[in-house]
Structure 1
Amino acid sequence: MNGPLAGLRVLEVGHILAGPYATMLLADLGARVTKVEPPCGDLSRQVSDAYFASLNRNKRSVRVDLSAPAGQDRLHELVRDADALLVNLKPSAIERFGLTYEALKPYNERLVCVALTGWGMDAGDMPAFDYVVQAATGIAAMTGDPDGPPALPGYSSVDNSAGMAAALGLLAQIVSGRGGQIEVSLRDVMLSQLNYHAAAWLNDGKAPRRLGGAHAHYVPAQLFPTAEGHLALFITHDGFWRSFAAEAGIEGYLTMAERAARREEVVAAVTKALAADFAVSWERRLRPLGVPAAAVRTLPQALVEFPDAVVRAGEHRLGRKPVPDRRAPAVVRPAASPRGA
């Protein structure tokens, strides 16, 4: 592998999404990632080949029974030659299989160990799947129509976000030049990502309202119906508003403060104006003006619209890595079939 992380050796013991996504990001950037799977394989292999491929390209894979003495011996052999180990299991399993820095320090003192769990290593084994964490941290409560039930996005936002945070934590500890233990939890990552919402409540006592996907501070910044389709409009400052209002034929509401104070009036005026044309037409009209706007597309439509975001890894077509290296594009290798220990 080439790329900026070429030479970095990472072990992964995980399953399904958050941990495998974290190490795939590292592998995409050139790290040599060895996926340590149980004898039955990663659970995501049972979903579909394409699902597994979407989280495990550019890795090699070995099957190791960590519950057996021979499997522990093999783990220690792998650790001796590794820079980092990322584990995405329940806290009890992480401890039971000896996948912590304290347990592995005798075999490699400079090893960086990342424990990616749902609630933290000291919080027990309470199940922590993506949608459960969205419900527990307030995300579901602020998502959806104001008059409807709580809602969830259509993809695994918690797992993907936690994977990115875990990859960042691993690299930060590598840069420090010291081995050690890093802990990342899905709960902490999502509460961190609720940054300005949490700050508004903690400091000003302002709880977030469910606004049907509208931004809490910027107006108008939400989805609007048009003559055909919906348009995402994101007006964050007065310059954007002036350009949009002139094109849409709307007068007034010249400052951000006024638009926020008169949210319902502004939304009604924008909705009326946008009803005069199609979403794709508004997109074509507003983009040259520098106004942030996009017609709502389905995922198939988006993949057709942005073909450069698709790569081929063996027999599978997948989404491109999020941090491309245009100077030395990495070869995208397919997800590996696991070898025996």
Structure 2
Amino acid sequence: MKKHVLEGLKILNLAEQYPGPYATLILSDLGADVINIERPNGGDPARQFYSFYESINRNKRSMALDLKMSKGREIFMELARDADVILEGFRPGVAKRLGISYEDVSSINKQIIYASISGFGQNGPYKNRPAHDLSYQAIAGMLYQQAETNEITNVPKIATGDLSSGMFAAIGVLSGLYMRNQTGEGTYIDVSMTDGLVSWMTTQLVPVINKTGIPGLPDEPGYGIYKTLDNKLISISIAHEDWFWKPFCLVVGLNDISTHNSEGRRSNYSEISQRISNAISEKTREEWEKKFEQSGIPFGSVLGLKDVPKDPQLQERNLFVEIPGDTERPTRTHVRQPLTFKDCESGPTKHAPKLGEHTKEILQDLGYSVDTIKEIFENNICYEEA
């Protein structure tokens, strides 16, 4: 039977809502045992949007534990004693006040990899400022076009700060584990959502900072989205490659501009874009798909969310994994993390947990008796959803 890459790795996840759950989604798909430590009163706030919560918390276990109570902290520290990784998403200083900081945990577990995910990082004038993804994007310069034109456009639908920090947290954890293999000691990782977005803006920021050119790549008419005869959208993605431009022009009937190089196309962006738009509007999307495929033109149909799982390329890549239903839950289809490894599994197998679903199981693993567990629940230190 195929093994999971991170089989045997124990992760305690205290980070709620999006970044921590996305980081641990990646790690749990790769085989890590992820235990979400949730507050007893309602758990992760994202649970109020259950479809959202379910999509990034499948494959994990849930323990509802009151960390404000001394016994709750004691139980957490017992779990931390033999954990490999802890992720937390509190504001800077909160974990220390609770008595579960890196310093607290590393005093009993020198090998712990401890990652803190926060909006602005553990230091700096903004470290305690409350904010969410849109504000991190704004400060990182991701909305620079709005700043330069002073025109407000739609709020971005994709929470890139949450997702990027989740990925950086996963990279940090795996780097920490590699370092531990070399030194025998754990480490502390400071993950800033804003810093991650600034990193993603590298090709826009560096040319501006050094006054060496324009941010990113210049506009190219062969790189855009166009509407077809049947009122559907198709993307053409000729970035700056002249070798794609000539065959594209021959296919769409723009032979007179087929010898334009990248610079010539950019200098006549508006006119050429309009001509492409007119040409694409003369045939259906299916017709263009066939022509572009046959001619080796970079393209992709613009798909709605309902169409993505039907795409033959994505189906062939087995990105959508079905978890069978049980007596309490219906069958669900989830998106697995995208990495594949030779002779290893890399996808979800378990449904998203109910709040505190595994609390008793985890306490039993720690050696607590049935009577003691009953007492813990009666004192509201732990909780499980009925």
TM-score, structure 1 length as denominator? Answer: 0.90
Classify the secondary structure of the residue corresponding to 1:150. Answer: coil
User: Which residue in 1 is equivalent to 2:157?
Assistant: 154
Matched-pair contact (CA < 8 Å) for 1:141–1:151: no
1:219 deviates by 4.1
Q: How does 1:175-254 map to 2 (within 5 A)?
A: 175-177=178-180, 178-204=185-211, 208=215, 216=218, 218-227=220-229, 228-236=231-239, 237-250=241-254, 251-252=256-257, 253-254=259-260
Matched-pair contact (CA < 8 Å) for 1:66–1:72: yes
**CA distance in structure 2 between the aligned counterparts of 1:299 and 1:82, rounded to whole angstroms:** 38
Classify the secondary structure of the residue corresponding to 1:39. Answer: coil
1:143 deviates by 6.9
**CA distance in structure 2 between the aligned counterparts of 1:13 and 1:52, rounded to whole angstroms:** 15
Matched-pair contact (CA < 8 Å) for 2:321–2:348: no
Q: How does 1:46-65 map to 2 (within 5 A)?
A: 46-48=48-50, 50-65=51-66
**CA distance in structure 1 between the aligned counterparts of 2:211 and 2:221, rounded to whole angstroms:** 20
Q: Say whether 1:259 aligns with 2:259.
A: no
Matched-pair contact (CA < 8 Å) for 2:319–2:338: no
Amino acid of the residue matched to residue 283 of structure 2? D
1:289 deviates by 2.5
User: Which residue in 2 is equivalent to 1:212?
Assistant: none
1:336 deviates by 2.0
**CA distance in structure 2 between the aligned counterparts of 1:216 and 1:100, rounded to whole angstroms:** 46
Q: How does 1:50-129 map to 2 (within 5 A)?
A: 50-122=51-123, 123-129=126-132
1:325 deviates by 4.0
TM-score, structure 2 length as denominator? Answer: 0.80
Q: Say whether 1:333 aligns with 2:350.
A: yes
Q: How does 1:290-329 map to 2 (within 5 A)?
A: 290-305=296-311, 306-307=314-315, 308-313=318-323, 314=325, 315=330, 316-325=332-341, 327-329=343-345
Query: Residues 277 and 132 from structure 1, CA distance in 2 versus in 1: closer, same or farther, beyond 3 angstroms?
Result: same
Aligned residues with identical type, % of pairs = 27
User: Which residue in 2 is equivalent to 1:286?
Assistant: 292
**CA distance in structure 2 between the aligned counterparts of 1:116 and 1:176, rounded to whole angstroms:** 20
1:303 deviates by 2.0
Structure 1, 179-188 or 154-163: larger mean CA deviation: 154-163
Amino acid of the residue matched to residue 22 of structure 1? A
Classify the secondary structure of the residue corresponding to 1:204. Answer: coil
CA deviation vs aligned residue, 1:104-153 (integer Å, no higher than 9, x gap): 11110111111111011123321231122222322234379x89623333
User: Which residue in 2 is equivalent to 1:269?
Assistant: 275
Point out where structure 1 has 5 or more consecutive residues left out of the alignment: 210-214
Point out where structure 2 has 5 or more consecutive residues left out of the alignment: 360-381
Classify the secondary structure of the residue corresponding to 1:200. Answer: helix
Tell me how large the CA RMSD over aligned residues is. 2.4
Structure 1, 114-123 or 259-268: larger mean CA deviation: 259-268
User: Which residue in 2 is equivalent to 1:166?
Assistant: 169
Amino acid of the residue matched to residue 224 of structure 2? Q
CA deviation vs aligned residue, 1:236-288 (integer Å, no higher than 9, x gap): 21122122112112232532222223322321222222121123332232123
Matched-pair contact (CA < 8 Å) for 1:19–1:87: yes
**CA distance in structure 2 between the aligned counterparts of 1:258 and 1:94, rounded to whole angstroms:** 57
**CA distance in structure 2 between the aligned counterparts of 1:201 and 1:99, rounded to whole angstroms:** 42
Matched-pair contact (CA < 8 Å) for 1:142–1:150: no
1:67 deviates by 1.2
Structure 1, 163-172 or 223-232: larger mean CA deviation: 223-232
1:208 deviates by 4.9
Classify the secondary structure of the residue corresponding to 1:21. Answer: helix
**CA distance in structure 1 between the aligned counterparts of 2:192 and 2:95, rounded to whole angstroms:** 14
Classify the secondary structure of the residue corresponding to 1:332. Answer: coil
Structure 1, 33-42 or 225-234: larger mean CA deviation: 225-234
1:292 deviates by 1.8
Structure of higher CA gyration radius:
2
1:31 deviates by 0.9
